[in-house]
Amino acid sequence: MPPVDRNRIAALVRELLEAIGEQPERPGLRETPTRVADAYAEFFAGLDADPAEPLARTISVSEGPAPDTLPSGAVLLRDVAFRSICEHHLLPFEGRAHLAYLPTGKVVGLGALARVLDVLAARPQVQERLGEQVAETIADALDARGSLVVLSARHQCVTARGERRPHASTVTVAARGELADPAARAELLALIAGAPA
């Protein structure tokens, strides 16, 4: 997929400003088309990126000082801030993600999990699909026994337009493998909620 076409976006934003009755050449708006094009290039940078790429460098946990040691518990990264653009109104949504997986014989650096989320969030999205895509990417790329993604976000299409519910948030849960069983993921959900282990 080609990169975002900034010149075309700028021309369309200029046209949009005219369509709402504005003067694109007035001092306050003169640079707006370029600024919006730059913002959109950032917002949608994930369209031509491979979300599994950050997971390519793995660390073996079964080799080293204790070669017979295999992971038995989950790896959980909590409270990862994210933002995306809702594909229905092209308005932002942002929140916190909790990313977990049950490793087999390999793990990744924790930052790699957040980068998977960043790549997939940098596309026109819906929260439900975003969580499913992150869970699928982690499970597949790491050959994990299970993965779990919990997203909590506020959507400007709910908070700033329509019914205007400024305090409303949406929580979604996506799970793969062993963590698709609600009983198996109960401990992780308790950890996400802040309960002691």
**Which has more pLDDT, 175 or 165?**
175
pTM recorded for the entire structure: 0.89
C-alpha 149/C-alpha 90 separation (Å) is 23
Residue 154 has pLDDT above 90, yes or no: yes
Q: Is residue 111 part of a domain?
A: yes
C-alpha 93/C-alpha 10 separation (Å) is 23
CATH of the domain at 74: 3.30.1130.10
Domain match, 38 and 76 both: no
Asked if 5 and 47 count as a contact pair (C-beta separation under 8 A), the reply is no
pLDDT of residue 170: 95
Domain match, 66 and 27 both: no
Which helix (H) or strand (E) segment holds residue 187: the answer is helix 182-192
Domain match, 36 and 68 both: no
Domain match, 10 and 99 both: no
Range of the domain at 168: 54-192
Q: Is residue 79 part of a domain?
A: yes
pLDDT of residue 106: 84
Q: What is the mean pLDDT of residues 157-186?
A: 92
Q: Is residue 124 part of a domain?
A: yes
157 annotated ligand binder: yes
Q: What residues have CB less than 8 Å from 167, skipping those under 6 apart?
A: 159
Domain match, 135 and 115 both: yes
86 annotated ligand binder: yes
Asked if 192 and 163 count as a contact pair (C-beta separation under 8 A), the reply is no
* pLDDT tens-digit readout, 19-56: 999 999 999 999 999 999 999 999 999 998 999 999 99
Residue 69 has pLDDT above 60, yes or no: no
Q: What is the mean pLDDT of residues 117-136?
A: 98
C-alpha 195/C-alpha 197 separation (Å) is 6
Residue 70 has pLDDT above 70, yes or no: no
Backbone angles phi, psi at 141, to 5 degrees: -65, -30
Domain count for the chain = 2
Domain match, 105 and 188 both: yes
Asked if 87 and 109 count as a contact pair (C-beta separation under 8 A), the reply is no
C-alpha 166/C-alpha 164 separation (Å) is 6
